[in-house]
Structure 1
Amino acid sequence: MNTAHALLSRVDEIRALAREREKRASLPGVPLPLNVTQLPLWPEPVRAVPNSFLRSALFGAIAKGRRRYINGEDLAAIDGITIRYKGERLDQGDLDVWESVLHVVRLQELGSQCRVTSYALLKLMGKTDTGKNRATLQARIERLVANALTVKQGRHSYIGSLIAFAAKDEKTQEWVIELDARLRPLFASDQFTQIEWAVRRALDGHQLAQWLHGFYASHAKPFPMRMETLLKLAGSEDSNPRSAQQTLRKALDAVAEASEARGEGFSYAIRGDLVHVKKRATGAQRRHLISKPRKPRG
């Protein structure tokens, strides 16, 4: 009886493993062993970003031109998040590249070497495969490698660079890119947000509008915020309060227009110096969000 019972248990175990393998095999990409570290498998129409990056000035809304080098400073961030950064300032274009790398890497083991061509990355970003765009892509990847940050988000922290390693075959334009597997806790179930890529793409070139879209996407019920606070969190470099606020209003208009066109409800009102936002998440977004108001810091 004991032998028979053990045999039946073994059969059940084998069947359970087979079901799990079948389930994983139905996912996009190459099925992975069950014991590897992997990013969450978000849907194709979205991109995933840690909330700490969306609620801070890490990927800021900065003007074109020469970038300021930050030598180990605490960046502006919502209360509960600490980001200390060293390297050239990062902007929304750098975030586009990092999101695209994550989108490819999510299908394989985190920490392994990911092979992807310049063409594939540019296509993911909606860019044409030209010499100029390849050069911009390389400059952004170099910037994502050549930085150091300390991120404290909830109970988790990460110390390292955004891309651990990158190399390129100049003839084939194939990149070998490696992300640190220790980034994984920043993608815990309640620590990241899925961004509607169609809306973000529609805002391409509008740095502040893209930042606002990501910031508000990471909140289920946005709370009123002062215009000055929003601009500080976005890393705005405009020292003129009046022009900065005019730019903020135009950026909010752009987010509302792009969101409405793609079924992602977004509206705002400015009362005094407070920005009030109402939003409705639809479509493929399945977000891990916060609803409690937090005080800004930095």
Structure 2
Amino acid sequence: MKKLNELLARIPEMQARAKQRAEREPLPGKPLPKNVVQLPLWPEPVRAVPNGFLRSALFGAIAKGKRRYIDGEQLAALDGVEIRYTGQRLDQGDLDVWESVLHAVRLQELGSQCRVTSYALLKLMGKTDTGKNRVTLNKRITRLVASALTVKQGRYSYIGSLIAGAAKDEETQEWVIELDAKLRPLYAADQFTQIEWAVRQELDGQQLAQWLHGFYATHAKPFPMKVETLLNLSGGENADPYSGKQKLRKALDAVVEASAAHGEGFSYDIRGDLVHVEKRASGPQRRHLAKKATKPRKPRA
């Protein structure tokens, strides 16, 4: 019994060491020649998404059912991000597929043909290779190909679709997927965020919770935000402010629980109409905060 208690007491330390090893582990593959356009190489336990996509209603927290078709509509987004979108509304499940495609493509030249099976894509998403999941995957890839958007993020802009084109061998279930190489500027330094995939998977099926997890992942030090603003940015279409606040609280509780289960610090408090969030910044975010703190301030006039 004594040994068991000692082992249980050491679990937090063991988890912390395992995470440190994961952060230090060598990246799969290696950078391609300098003249080849390639996405940044991020570690296996994370997925990388442009900040503008996570700070907007592009991949919204939308209810199940018939999707609204958007024709060049400007989506809700934080200051510094502007997105106009044409196509069926996208949700967090569509983001899972796009993240998985990018995860596979990051090891090769951006714009080239990426060959990947339905089985491999579904496995990356944590899904089983069933007929139903293959049909859903096909629908989501079709929707991503049919999308048309104009994104302005910082000094960069992109006009095109989320997936340039795709084809599939129905017998082997092998996909040939192409992404536009002009997406690369959206992955410039400080323009994208690495999402902890284990936490996101823990929130699978909880649209608003997944959106909140991605949104706050882009902030090293979150600032208080109005409940109404968060719901608007998430793409929610609930007109009732009371039920919207209750839904937001439930989703934030889910993020707290999922984050704690995987050693991530996340807490929140709703005071009046403002949501206050505290989280532990990621490695790159901690370096950003340290650099910002040491940067000399200009004297006030």
Task: Name the CA distance, whole Å, in 2 between partners of 1:288 and 1:170.
Answer: 46
Q: CA deviation at 1:33?
A: 2.6
Tell me if the contact between 1:39 and 1:184 (Cα under 8 Å) persists in the aligned partners.
yes
Cα distance, 1:288–1:132 mapped onto 2, change above 3 Å: farther
Q: Which amino acid aligns with 2:83?
A: I
SS class of match (1:62): coil
**TM-score, normalization: structure 1?**
0.86
User: Do residues 137 (structure 1) and 117 (structure 2) align?
Assistant: no
Task: Name the CA distance, whole Å, in 1 between partners of 2:31 and 2:263.
Answer: 33
Identity %: 80
What residue in structure 2 maps to residue 21 of structure 1? Answer: none
Tell me if the contact between 2:115 and 2:177 (Cα under 8 Å) persists in the aligned partners.
yes
SS class of match (1:167): strand
What residue in structure 1 maps to residue 173 of structure 2? Answer: 173
- How many residues align? The count is 265
SS class of match (1:213): helix
Q: Deviation per CA, 1:130-171, whole angstroms, max 9, x where unpaired?
A: 000000000000000001000000000000000000000000
> Structure 1: which 4+ aligned runs deviate by more than 4 Å?
287-292
What residue in structure 1 maps to residue 211 of structure 2? Answer: 211
Q: CA deviation at 1:241?
A: 1.3
Written as runs of structure 1 = structure 2, the 5 A alignment for 1:185-200 is: 185-200=185-200
Q: CA deviation at 1:174?
A: 0.2
Instruction: Flag structure 1 segments of 5+ consecutive residues without an equivalent.
Output: 1-25, 293-298
Tell me if the contact between 1:200 and 1:210 (Cα under 8 Å) persists in the aligned partners.
yes
SS class of match (2:140): helix
Q: Higher relative contact order at CA 8 Å, sep ≥6: structure 1 or structure 2?
A: 1
Tell me if the contact between 2:27 and 2:44 (Cα under 8 Å) persists in the aligned partners.
no
Tell me if the contact between 1:82 and 1:153 (Cα under 8 Å) persists in the aligned partners.
yes
SS class of match (1:72): strand
What residue in structure 2 maps to residue 38 of structure 1? Answer: 38
What residue in structure 2 maps to residue 80 of structure 1? Answer: 80
What residue in structure 2 maps to residue 54 of structure 1? Answer: 54
Task: Name the CA distance, whole Å, in 1 between partners of 2:287 and 2:219.
Answer: 5
Cα distance, 1:118–1:261 mapped onto 2, change above 3 Å: same
What residue in structure 2 maps to residue 271 of structure 1? Answer: 271
What residue in structure 2 maps to residue 162 of structure 1? Answer: 162
| Higher Rg of the two aligned structures | 1
SS class of match (1:33): coil
Written as runs of structure 1 = structure 2, the 5 A alignment for 1:222-241 is: 222-241=222-241
User: Do residues 128 (structure 1) and 112 (structure 2) align?
Assistant: no
Task: Name the CA distance, whole Å, in 2 between partners of 1:242 and 1:170.
Answer: 48
Instruction: Flag structure 2 segments of 5+ consecutive residues without an equivalent.
Output: 1-25, 293-301
User: Do residues 102 (structure 1) and 102 (structure 2) align?
Assistant: yes
Task: Name the CA distance, whole Å, in 1 between partners of 2:39 and 2:84.
Answer: 24
Task: Name the CA distance, whole Å, in 1 between partners of 2:166 and 2:285.
Answer: 30
Q: Deviation per CA, 1:11-39, whole angstroms, max 9, x where unpaired?
A: xxxxxxxxxxxxxxx85237633310000
